[in-house]
């Protein structure tokens, strides 16, 4: 596991902070998917619901931040909406 952390630390130097944090956040959410694919064990309803809530929150926040940044640029006159 130590090697994976070293590689992650090195790779995080080449991506934005949001991209770097998405990997550790999404990895536990995908564990039930990997177990289902490789071991055939279906995730429970609460695991699916929890994953959906977290993914919806991440996607919603990302969309809101992008929209806010676009408005800020439009106010500055950088782009037209």
* Domain-located, residue 29: yes
**Does 28 fall in a domain?**
yes
Counted domains in the chain: 1
Residue range 18-49, pLDDT digits in tens: 778 877 878 887 888 888 999 999 988 998 89
* Residue 81 domain-assigned (yes or no): no
Is 45 among the domain residues? yes
Which structural domain, as residue segments, surrounds residue 51?
2-76
Model confidence at 56: pLDDT above 80: yes
Calculate the alpha carbon distances from 41 to 10, 44, 53 in Å: 34, 9, 21
- Sign, Cα dihedral of 61, 51, 53, 5: negative
Q: What one-character DSSP code corresponds to residue 81?
A: -
Task: Decide if 38 is inside a domain.
Answer: yes
């Amino acid at each position: 596991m130590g090697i994976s952390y070293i590689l992650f630390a090195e790779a995080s130097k080449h991506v934005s902070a949001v991209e770097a944090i998405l990997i550790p956040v999404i990895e536990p959410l995908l564990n039930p998917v990997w177990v289902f694919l490789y071991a055939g064990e279906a995730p429970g309803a609460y695991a699916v619901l929890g994953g959906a809530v977290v993914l919806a929150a991440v996607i919603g926040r990302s969309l809101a931040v992008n929209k806010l940044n676009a408005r800020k640029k439009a106010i500055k006159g950088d782009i037209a909406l």
